[in-house]
Structure 1
């Protein structure tokens, strides 16, 4: 770089604010009397002189910097630095930025021809004026440069270039008054107050700390007054940055889980097509002409194919329709993972998966990361597709406010959402567009998780087995809506009651528990199964809903009921003819015949007497027996004649007729033994045991009651006139 320039050379530079002709430069030199400054000399190299040369220090600062900037050069080698494990990232950045500035300054000194002091002074001025073309990150770190700082940096670099790395915050980090006050309790208290409510200002937090710790704080061995508000503001600013992850975990656990907590990449590894699906639901961030809808999404983790179903509300029926759509397009999976939503754990969903032989895995409550793949794809669908639709309402309340703000308050006041958000799509059109996006855009987009392959390529490259359902009608039966809450009903004489309507069953008898499904093609028809849903029993129809003649339907149902009942009761009727009125009685007697030979031991009895029973006995003794009339006397004689006479002497063959005994003969035998006892004749031990056991049995008591009743009635018969 030339330090002495002629008037023509100065004019050729065409510096901003300077004359661009030789005559103009000479006029400027004469006007400012450059020749008298000592920075003007005669040009050497020509005999007889060659005019004057002027030193660049005669230029105004702006023009001098513009001229010097022409000789500033930053080369690629200036950015080559060394790594170090001893320095932090910030220290490495500070070291590298200073080294780059030193290299550029050293090159400028070599090309300028000036001494080190003058060159550094001019370079510092160029750097301060922004004339040194270093990258922005260097300017961010090295904000100011002086000749003294350049000299100091050279000395440090000669000893150890790593000494240029500096982190100012590292040296003073944690040394502030509020950091050390009360052994760190003040800092923790202030952070706790902030975490409890992020809208508290530094003034609120300082007042709370003042109330907690007072106006004097202990800092090590010293006692210092409570710092002013500005100190609290600066400390809170640093703490929020130092403890940002911890504060986020406390104040917004969902955001912490989504953005900070480490997550495993590729945790859901699968090795084959349809090995595992994930299903989830979410409201669509767009409105249709039918209102805001919900979407269900299923994703095959192996191929990353997706299927979307648009539905009115989250229901088990919608889950079944999504699974049906996936089964027909992809085949049958081995496992489906869902959350614990009521639509996924509903009886209909569980029964459907069980009937198809598909295992269901539920994620833990409040753990969306356990099915993070489908969660992320739903977010992709909302951002990349739904945001382009008419009727888009934003992904959050803040987004919605931004969209609403496109119109002035007066323009949107009283305007319904359909006009405000330019709703134009119907539900059917939204479903068509969603299907197109899944098959034409997403399926042919390379995925990092698939090693830059597309879902379509991965699915087409699979050569293994794919289970499929060929009978679509059977699948429709399994997906048929369940009647009521759980589909379980009991058949009554009026039929099967569902939603206040009665369905007449064909071939299913009243009293039968059934599991009911609606025929999707006929509102008036039910399919009836066993309660476990595995055995088909028949149909039931509602004549009004099915458009049938009620009288004709009831006649058919009754005819079928009669045919079934007659078929099942034919064998019963045949057996019934063989039963007479004495069948059960005789079988009952035979069943308990073995108890006839069981005897009870005689029990000791004591006479029970009261004053009233003694008085009654006296009356009986004094009352004379009533004389029998001729008719009663004749009947008594007849009874006495029928009563066998018992000899006072026991006979040897008293038991020879035991095999021919009847209930009547056994009773007559007991009467004979009783008469002998009344006459004072002793019985043998065997006869006494038999009589005691017989008297305790029901047969004796029954015959005794009949005999006594007959005698009493005969006594009450009036005498013949």
Structure 2
């Protein structure tokens, strides 16, 4: 190949099209001469990269005509397998050295990076020389160019390595292949293995101790090592305390996730566990999914510690909460009632495995309203992240401004307590370190005002707007509760008894439907003797039950207790014993409340904040959404049941709570009367006692049931006893 080349010859040598060569020649004005009809370009005037590739192509072409070419190819074929194994070892060594290179710092890392850059240009420069079997000449020529600083590098490599020997790159390449890139840093070698790591049994023992006590100190771990070495008969080389401390630090750095999880699993979930993405990205409309949960209130109240039960609409982030003594099936149903009357009926709710949420009463209510249920995995609060985030916003934010705030955890509680000096606690006898002045009712009002006037109008990062605007931006068909009485029926089943679910009873041929020792009757129950039915209280009258079929919730009738229906007997009279105990406790709490009220009622900071937000959003109400009343057969049956009685005025949440409390208190009082009655050694003694009492007074309903049951089960004995007792009474009367 001559020193003057056509565009086609250049293109074939470097592997591009001749058009690309001509275009670059025109752009860079390569010198040329005309040979016939073709242009020929001077080889020594071509770009350096082109000259190297052309030289390599020329060397390969020349090598193929050499007598040694065939012999060399055969030798290469014989050594192919050995070369593959060598390449594999070099690859593994290179990967190990690359990992160590990332750990280098300072001058050692700078030297290694510079040598890698020099090796890269050295290998490219030698290609044509190697092809022509002149590697040594190429190495010497490269050294001359480098020492004259004629090779251009992106970084100032010459300030680190000013000059090289002709065989220096060869030694570096060998080091790179055998020891990896990190060895190019100079006197670099892997850190000497720790004394503990050199002894596998000792290392396993130390890891086991740190697993069980991730916060152990080096002093205590050293003591454990010494003791185990003596008792276990080991022959360990015991490290020093500072050596143990270094090993613990290195182990923690090498296993950060495992140590963080062992030290605090709950904090790991919130801080370390991967939570990329958006947990609500599949939620596309209002009321598609509600998350339900409960949390203890951090605010101490005059009527005792309470819990906050809440639900959040995941799409809009609107929230409904109630403050209740405990998180129970009763309180959850009350919260659902409040939420559904305000937001409508959700399509699905997500609940946890708590017994209150998995109770038969709650699941029965959700089923009756055709609400799907999703249950989270045990101990996985992150699966209800939206309601958990709301509780955190409340407990770590505005609740701290309230009087009676007792801290979110033990550590915070201790900090609050320490704000009162030791001297004050000693000199001011009886003074509390936390001022308690709010009642549960006041706390409920504060939370409702804060949600309505502040929370719903604050910008949320994930939805990129406020809950109020998010709700109004979408038009969704909402399942609406129009008949509150029907909802109350579904939310007020009679208590569970005898292993049966809440609301379920069997119709008896003698006592009708028995609830807490009280019988309810209706002519329509005749065809259902011996069958299970579903019963709900009449929220306005304890003497009435709404009865539905047990299978499809079809309305049957309204069953009544003849003595109690129509409120002929007040609930106060029926629960007199229970109210006496309540009044005594109420007097104690009222006295405490009055003393606290003289100091402060509601913290001024919190009151002023809510008032300010209320003034900003005065008169702002959500846009009405399109609604439907198609809530399923159960709800429709409850609506049909309400149409069989005169409509009464709807009741408030407080009134609903009060009446349910009266019902429960009445049941407890009736049970107390039964428990405090006389005790009998046998049913025969009881029958004898009831027979004599019957002559003196009117028996209670429960006593009549037991008396008649004994007569039916033991007719001959009852007849004989009545005859004997009757004749003895006649003699006594004479």
Superposition TM-score, scaled by structure 2 size: 0.49
**Larger Rg, first or second structure (1 or 2):** 1
